[in-house]
Amino acid sequence: MWNKVKELSEIGLNKSQIAIELSIDRKTVKKMLKMSLDEYLKLLPEERSKKLDPYESFIYDLLDEFPFLSSSAVEDKLKEHHPDLLDVSSKTVYNYVMQVRAKYNIDKVNDRQLRMMRKWADTPYGEWGQVDFGTILLSTDSGKNHRVHFFVIVLGRSRQKYVYFQSTPFTSKTAIYAHQLGFEYLHGAPQKLLYDQDRVFTKGENFGDIVLTQEFGRYTSGEVFTPVFCRKADPQTKGKVENAVKYIKQNFLVARKYNSDEQLNREVMAWLARTGNGKMNNGTQLVPNDEWMKEREYLLSPRMSPLKPEPEYREYNVRRDHTIRYKGNYYSLPRGSYQGDGTVVRLYIEEDKLVITDSFGDNLAEHLIPQTKGGYVSSVNHWKIPDISSSELYEQVLNGLGDTDDANTWVQLLSDKKRRYLKDNLVSLKHSIGRYDKDILKRALDICIDKSIYNAAGFADIAKTLQNQTTAKIAPGKTSMTTLRKIAMEPQTRDINSYQNIMSW
């Protein structure tokens, strides 16, 4: 164990990675790295006899013939064949069975692993390829961890590989884009590609018939290759790409830091040239790149060129406190983004950032996505009122509304009624004016005057309703009057003198 810890440390693994690789505690790794071999040997406990030592050979023979047996099954066999067995706990039996497995290198296997297997001869050039995904956490210069996802395609005969990285999990669209990039790199596509039944590609299995996702089904029906799918949970069927994924993790990605998706993809192209495809393959004893020079003549020409998909937006409701909730965290939005119930924004992921836009596609905010959950990610600028006087804001709002007599009258009345919150109202009005055209603004102003609405939020709600009617998102005349009626409702107020009378009792 001490030697293995030292060996992994020398090839660049950090303490946490060594702990995961060897299934031991990180503190143990740290302690071993500080010790010399002599110091470590002195700490080893003296070998003590165990209660089950007399039965070691019986347990070994049993596990050697039936390696899939559980410790509870071994315990039952012991009691069956050795009635004089000492009274020991099931945990003691489990620990001893694990010790015997480790001592004689007997791995526990299941029935699927025990099925009969055979090594197949190399397939003809250009006939087969295999596809799989991988994921790993990389450290960054700031000391944080960043998860990356990667797509791998391997040609069955030459073992030529292609790898593509991105920060977001793969979807059908991005997986299709990765295929297109891979075919461009390989100068063609094989006749058949072997896949897992991954949710990116399939929706399920109907008595042996694979049901593809709509996007991937449409793509494969128009391309030159035929997709073939393994049985579920059967990685042995596509061992070439499974080995490639492991090779990428243990060679290219080990001790590598993350800067950006673009840089990672540039680095992996250089690695493929010098190592991934440039060094001899252990299985074939041939250099993949040399074999690929022969295989590329047998590959099919793809019908589609690489076309990067647009970011996939998802709509989220804006909360009253000017935040949205995304995957367990709250993210702030600029002041004035909340325009009443039903206000929505659109989100998409760009590497490790959450990008938030309004419904028109204008950028509202960008936040780094934290690794933790339940937090609040905010920007101080979102609630900072611009350093501008109320009089300047007043003029800007007035000009935005057309500087008409009606606009002058309405803004002046709003100023009189909302003295305490005048600047907040003017900032919100300025935000609304920038979102709608002059016709919408004029109609909204006319309704506010007619309904005696002197409130920036009310103005924004009316403008939004009119905009929805114009774009036919809401049927005209069905909901607009209900919305306007709600906006026009004034809360009941009581004269201040009544409270003074009550207090004087």
Contact yes or no for 188/300 (Cβ under 8 A): yes
Residues in a beta bridge with 128: 192
3-state secondary structure of 465: helix
Alpha-carbon distances of 75 from 52, 61, 179, 257, rounded to whole Å: 11, 14, 51, 48
Structure tokens at 431: 């935000």
Average pLDDT over residues 25-43: 84
SS in 3 state form for 46-94?
Answer: CCCCCCCHHHHHHHHHHHHHCCCCCHHHHHHHHHHHCCCCCCCCHHHHH
3-state secondary structure of 118: coil
The answer, yes or no, to whether residue 404 has pLDDT greater than 90, is: no
Taking alpha carbons only, the member of 105, 76, 81 closest to residue 93 is: 76
- Looking at residue 476, what is its pLDDT? 47
- 97-149 pLDDT per residue, tens: 999 998 888 887 764 455 555 566 688 999 999 999 999 999 988 888 888 99
Average pLDDT over residues 356-385: 80
- Looking at residue 103, what is its pLDDT? 86
- 329-354 pLDDT per residue, tens: 999 998 778 888 888 888 888 767 88
Which secondary structure element, helix H or strand E, spans residue 203, and what is its range? strand 202-206
Lowest mean pLDDT among 178-182, 294-298, 461-465: 461-465
- Looking at residue 184, what is its pLDDT? 97
Buried b (16+ CB within 10 A) or exposed e, 186-199: bebbbbbbbbbbbe
- Looking at residue 141, what is its pLDDT? 86
pTM: 0.54
Largest CA distance in the chain: 106
- Phi and psi, residue 86, nearest 5°: -65, 155
- 237-289 pLDDT per residue, tens: 788 999 999 999 999 998 899 999 999 999 999 999 999 999 999 888 999 99
pLDDT, averaged across the chain: 84
Residue 189 is classified by DSSP as B
% residues pLDDT > 70 (the chain): 86
For the chain, the structural domain boundaries read 1-44, 49-116, 128-298, 314-383, 390-488
Lowest mean pLDDT among 29-33, 76-80, 376-380: 376-380
The answer, yes or no, to whether residue 152 has pLDDT greater than 90, is: yes
Q: With the C-alpha atoms ordered 360, 350, 152, 200, is the resulting torsion angle positive or negative?
A: negative
Q: How confident is the model at residue 192 (pLDDT cuts 50, 70, 90)?
A: very high
Burial class (CB in 10 A: 0-12, 13-18, 19+), 233: exposed
CATH 3.40.190.290 fits 128-298, yes or no: no
Highest mean pLDDT among 77-86, 174-183, 197-206: 174-183
- 45-84 pLDDT per residue, tens: 666 678 898 899 999 988 888 888 888 889 888 988 888 8
Neighbour tally for 298: CB within 10 Å = 16
The answer, yes or no, to whether residue 479 has pLDDT greater than 50, is: no
Average pLDDT over residues 16-45: 84
The answer, yes or no, to whether residue 236 has pLDDT greater than 70, is: no
Average pLDDT over residues 15-28: 88
Q: How confident is the model at residue 413 (pLDDT cuts 50, 70, 90)?
A: confident
**Residue 458 corresponds to which amino acid?**
G
- Report the first-to-last Cα separation within the chain, whole angstroms: 85
Q: How confident is the model at residue 387 (pLDDT cuts 50, 70, 90)?
A: low
**More confident position, 486 or 252:** 252
- Looking at residue 477, what is its pLDDT? 47
Taking alpha carbons only, the member of 295, 59, 300 closest to residue 188 is: 300
- Phi and psi, residue 202, nearest 5°: -125, 150
